Structure 1
Amino acid sequence: MTFERNREIATRIAEHLKADLLLYEKGIFKKAFENYGAIIAVFATGIVVRDIAPLLNNKWSDPAVVVVDSNLNFAIPLLGGHHGANEIARKISELGAVPVLTTATEVHGKPSVEGIADRLSCEIFNKESTVAVNCALLDQEIEVLEVKGPRIVVVDEDVSVLVKRRQENIGVKGDSSNNS
């Protein structure tokens, strides 16, 4: 999404990502939050922050948000780095923008619970555990255990539990790769 004056850059990004192009109008961020899993905003960061602040709920339901400056210099994952924004910024870098990644695990070349879950085609059962486990992943190797059932597994609150996705659910809900 963008202002009319930045349409050319926004169009290049939308075509590259096979995404929709939305032009700014009052309430556009609210509409985008309701209808897209990811938003690419060709705006100044301050505009985006002020417009999305009242819409924020939590990292698990908010869309990924990437801010791109109007000269295509930088792609900044503002929300949802582990939930698609970092990957979108990398794809935008193919057009020349520098991806400005600040997600700690990403910056230090470490895996994240969210990334491990995606690679294993799993959902995170106890999402609140990811803060502690992602912090631990920064400092140490964390073993990934696979437990086949039937079993009962009891874990502490700082253990992330991943549940394999059913095949029919893969790539359907929460796929943010084709939205802007």
Structure 2
Amino acid sequence: MTWEGTESMTHKEQMFPTATPRRVFRFERLLVGDRWERDVRVDVDATGRIVALDPGGAPDGCEPVAGWAVPGVPNVHSHSFQRAMAGLAEGRGPDSFWSWRDVMYSFLERLTPDDVEAITAQLYVEMLKAGFTCVGEFHYLHHPPGGGRYDDRAEMSRRILAAARTAGIGLVHMPVVYERGGFGGEMGKKK
């Protein structure tokens, strides 16, 4: 099976329109390696790639970036659909992974591929705004509500890829299988 690329110009084209092939920034303070540097010149090409970095070499005319800045970071563990169920499983009183899982399964019975794509795109935009530049998506939604199979077995995976393209975030897509409920434990009635 081949996968479409996840490189997206949507977000990048908005930040770096083709009319402006290169942008030059002056960061007031930037973490470079393990040191905080002042007045750092950063040259960025039209695709959003850093092509030059010069600590202490920011001339007048650069776009200023005030304050302290760090390079973007990866989010290495995501289950994007869970963003939409935040707050549904939390409550006072006793609960466990198993009670949370029951709420999750009930929630999944309502999610369509369109829902998953929209939720994922929104989450990925939130990640970009928070400084994440790529995400590792542990993906285990392979079946439609009620069980069975999609005509395209990769339907839900394709929706995750589309959401990443829409948001403009880097993606490591990791389809997984959820078979066990702990060490040696069975999943129970819902799979």
Normalised to the residue count of structure 2, the TM-score between the two structures is 0.21
Give the structure with the larger helix fraction. Answer: 1
More strand by share: 2
TM-score (normalizing by structure 1):
0.22
